[in-house]
Amino acid sequence: MVVIAPALGHDLQWISDVDPRIEVIDGNALARGTEGGERLLQDADVVLVGYPVPDGIAARAPHLRWAQQTQAGVSNLHGTDLWASDVILTSSRGAVSATGIAEYVIAGVYYFARGLQEATRQKAASEFGRRGYDLRPVTGATIGVVGLGGIGGEVARLARAAGMKVLATRRSVTQPQPDTDGADLLLPAGDLVKLAAESDYIAVCAQLTAQSERMLDAGVFAAMKPDAVLINVARGELIDEDAMVAALGEGRIRGALLDVYDGELAGRPPRPELVELPQVILTPHISNNGDPVGREPARRLFADNLRRYLDGRPLLNQVDRARGY
């Protein structure tokens, strides 16, 4: 098997420890574009791949049967030859620093609730005074979690611990379900406008698929409270950025904390408005960083799946290409 995942480190003994029959090859040369790296894939039947995914893995690995990605979302695989192949794909959904990402979301809630955005504005403007602050309690506020999966579930847990009410959506739900999986009310994905209308903060944690692309559209922003805050830790393409920029520029929502933006995974810079609007906080997809045990859940998941693969048992987190994740 070949490992092309620099984020998991270069000590690959934890993979070899799964079974002595495994020959583990450090293929991170492929991620760096090093000459000769492509030859590493010729005999591989298993690949563990991180971000970014090198081009043409399936074409260069004629014996490849299974590939696992270290990311939770698989939208970055959609345009690769891995997606177009018959190779089994699995993701690291539920094992990607969920607590660290959820803490980032809650930090954003407190940033806007306790007036820190005004402190940031005043410092940049060389001002210092009490006017302009609009502090609000977090306890009793409502957070809407779009996509109650591994990360969304952790957001719900921390939000409830902070005294917040939690609304959430999940694609597989067909009827509203009270007090479910950490949410006070779990709604079908089609009830996104209802969630938007009742939430003080909206945390976007959903998978990007053909059906979910730009699902936070003008109708959703029109339904949001004028003092609502949007926090996106999933994929930028889940949001109609024209609608978001209009809502922010016209003061129809209070602000946004964005760890991702449309085109980020393709290497494009953020649109100028996201950089210029003072009520937007933009970070470079770092919400999963800073967790001292962040690698371990992904490692454990892959090790478990590798043992399942060797034993001929079903793999965890197998991607359904028709569903998109």
Exposed, middle or buried by CB within 10 Å (0-12, 13-18, 19+), for 316? middle
Note if 285 is an active site residue.
Answer: yes
**Six-digit token pair at 176?**
């509203």
From the list 264, 271, 296, 321, the catalytic residue is: 264
Given a contact cutoff of 8 angstroms between Cβ atoms, the answer to whether 48 and 71 are in contact is no
pLDDT band at 249 (very low <50, low <70, confident <90, very high): very high
Note if 63 is an active site residue.
Answer: no
Cβ-proximal residues to 260 (8 Å cutoff; 6+ apart), any chain: 232, 233, 234, 235, 236, 285
> Residue 22 has what pLDDT?
93
pLDDT tens, residue by residue, 106-156: 999 999 999 999 999 999 999 999 999 999 999 999 999 999 998 999 999
Given a contact cutoff of 8 angstroms between Cβ atoms, the answer to whether 258 and 244 are in contact is no
> Residue 9 has what pLDDT?
78
Distance separating alpha carbons of residues 305 and 94, to the nearest angstrom: 14
pLDDT tens, residue by residue, 279-322: 999 999 999 887 655 678 888 999 999 999 999 999 999 999 98
Helix or strand (DSSP H, E) at 300: helix 295-311
CA distances (Å), origin 309, targets 152, 219, 232, 314: 28, 45, 34, 7
> Residue 29 has what pLDDT?
67
Across residues 224-252, what is the average pLDDT?
A: 97
Note if 264 is an active site residue.
Answer: yes
Cβ-proximal residues to 233 (8 Å cutoff; 6+ apart), any chain: 101, 104, 105, 151, 203, 204, 205, 259, 260, 287
DSSP annotation of 6: G
> Residue 288 has what pLDDT?
84
pLDDT tens, residue by residue, 263-276: 998 889 999 999 99
Which of 90 and 32 is assigned the larger pLDDT? 90
Task: Give me Rg for the CA atoms of the chain.
Answer: 21
Q: Using CA atoms of 153, 157, 158, 159 in order, give the dihedral in degrees to the nearest 10.
A: 90
Task: State the chain's mean pLDDT as an integer.
Answer: 92
Exposed, middle or buried by CB within 10 Å (0-12, 13-18, 19+), for 53? buried
pLDDT tens, residue by residue, 24-55: 999 876 765 555 556 789 999 999 998 888 88
From the list 114, 160, 252, 285, the catalytic residue is: 285
Per-residue pLDDT at 180 exceeds 90: yes
pLDDT band at 323 (very low <50, low <70, confident <90, very high): confident
Across residues 11-22, what is the average pLDDT?
A: 92
> Residue 154 has what pLDDT?
95
Per-residue pLDDT at 220 exceeds 60: yes
> Residue 265 has what pLDDT?
84
**Six-digit token pair at 104?**
């980032």
> Residue 293 has what pLDDT?
55
From the list 171, 235, 254, 299, the catalytic residue is: 235
pTM: 0.85
Look at strands 177-180 and 255-258 and give their pairing.
Answer: unpaired
